């Protein structure tokens, strides 16, 4: 049997949790249990990779010290890593004994937090241990306290060796509800590197500057694109406009790929083109953009597009025929 101990305190000499863990280890060693301790405060940069160490353990001890409030940052970080990177199938068969000692208050709540966290991860519970220590010397010299610690270690050994079952807990239902988030595709090592970059203020500032430059660049491109789209076909119509006599007509081109209609106004042989809307034009034309491209390039005429059914027309057909007279498009092949 192998049991891993994960200690989330600060490693202070007068930490009562360390005394309890030493007593635990003594009892387990006497029972021929292999014990390996992981001091999280000494492994700050490796915490995200520690869940893999659970894979060869039959049970674990999560130990922390309440110095002012809660289980502390190291233990929280380790539990986060178990959630993100831990082997859920292995955790589901691993027993956990929570040990929390306090020099202030809140040891019971902290022990309960560890138990709940492990159950939400899918793990198996063991009866834990918690207590308040006001004077470290008197605590260590108290034989009754020592017997309690030894009994807890023996109970953990029996629970694991006998694979003691427990009734279902609602925390398993909570696990099913919250375990819908996509798992991180990065390895723990890649996550550590990313965290180091995120903590580098100079690096973050440079990245923000780069993002702002890229944002400005693409914004200008989009604005330029909008300008070009608002002028499409208009310059072609103006450059090929050749009126004969006095012409007065209004045309509305509904081009499928364009958001707004193309309006062509001819008043006293003066041309005005723009994208917008017009009620009751003399001629309404509907077509695809590729048909308009063919007309502009001189491959077909307005009249031919209408006769072939590629352009639908509504209005004065006499004014439709006039389009080919005032707009002279010549094919590049001619």
Q: CA–CA separation, 304 vs 300, rounded Å?
A: 6
pLDDT digits (tens, 9 = 90+) for 222-253: 555 544 566 788 988 999 998 877 788 999 99
What's the rounded Cα separation, in Å, for the pair 80 and 172? 17
Protein fold of 234-326: Nonspecific Lipid-transfer Protein; Chain A (3.30.1050)
What are the domain boundaries of the chain? 2-190, 200-230, 234-326
DSSP secondary structure string for all residues of 35-79: EEEEEGGG-GGGGGGGGGGGGG-SEEEEEEEESSSSS-HHHHHHH
Give every CB contact of residue 213 below 8 A, 6+ residues apart in sequence: none
Predicted confidence (pLDDT) per residue in 240-293, tens digit: 998 877 788 999 999 988 888 999 999 888 899 999 988 899 999 999 999 999
Q: What pLDDT does 139 receive?
A: 93
User: What is the predicted pLDDT for the residue at 334?
Assistant: 45
Distance between first and last Cα of the chain:
92
User: 2-190 has which fold?
Assistant: Rossmann fold (3.40.50)
Do 94 and 57 form a contact (C-beta atoms < 8 A)?
A: yes
Element (DSSP H or E) covering residue 274: strand 270-275
Note the pLDDT of residue 318.
Answer: 87
Q: From CA 132, how far away is CA 139, in angstroms rounded?
A: 10
Residues lower than pLDDT 50 in the chain: 180-182, 226-227, 334
14: left (phi over 0), alpha (psi -120 to 50) or beta: alpha
The answer to whether the predicted template modeling score (pTM) of the entire model surpasses 0.75 is: no
Residue for token pair 């192998």: 2
Per DSSP, 86 falls in state S
User: Which pLDDT does position 21 carry in this prediction?
Assistant: 96
Total residues belonging to the chain: 334
What pLDDT, on a 0 to 100 scale, did the predictor assign at position 156? Answer: 95
pLDDT at res. 123: 93
């Amino acid at each position: 049997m192998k049991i891993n101990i994960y200690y989330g305190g600060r490693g202070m000499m007068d930490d009562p949790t360390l005394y309890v863990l030493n007593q635990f280890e003594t009892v387990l060693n006497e029972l021929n249990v292999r014990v390996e301790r992981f001091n999280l405060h000494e492994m700050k940069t490796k915490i995200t990779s520690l869940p893999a160490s659970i894979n060869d353990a039959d049970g674990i001890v999560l130990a922390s010290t309440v110095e002012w409030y809660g289980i502390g940052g190291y233990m929280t970080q380790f539990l986060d890593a178990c959630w993100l990177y831990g082997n859920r199938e292995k955790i589901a068969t691993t027993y956990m004994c929570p040990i929390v000692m306090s020099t202030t208050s809140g040891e019971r709540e902290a022990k309960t937090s560890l138990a709940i966290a492990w159950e939400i991860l899918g793990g198996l519970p063991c009866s834990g241990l918690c207590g308040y220590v006001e004077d470290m010397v008197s605590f260590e010299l108290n034989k009754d306290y020592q017997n309690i610690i030894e009994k807890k270690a023996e109970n953990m050994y029996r629970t694991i060796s006998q694979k003691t079952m427990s009734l279902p807990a609602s925390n398993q239902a909570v696990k099913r509800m919250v375990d819908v988030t996509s798992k991180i595709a990065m390895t723990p090592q890649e996550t550590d590197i990313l965290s180091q970059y995120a903590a580098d203020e100079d690096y973050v500032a440079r990245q923000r500057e780069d993002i702002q430059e890229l944002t400005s660049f693409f914004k200008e491109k989009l604005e330029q694109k909008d300008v070009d789209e608002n002028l499409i076909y208009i310059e072609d119509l103006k450059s090929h406009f050749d009126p004969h006599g006095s012409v007065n007509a209004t045309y509305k081109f509904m081009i499928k790929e364009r958001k707004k209609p193309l309006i062509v106004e001819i008043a006293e042989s003066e041309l005005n083109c723009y994208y917008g809307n017009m009620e009751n034009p003399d001629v309404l034309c509907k077509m695809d953009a590729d048909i308009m491209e063919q007309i502009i390039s001189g491959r077909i005429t307005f009249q031919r597009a209408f006769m072939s059914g590629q352009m639908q027309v509504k209005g004065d057909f006499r004014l439709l025929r006039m389009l080919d007279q005032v707009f002279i498009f010549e094919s590049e092949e001619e």
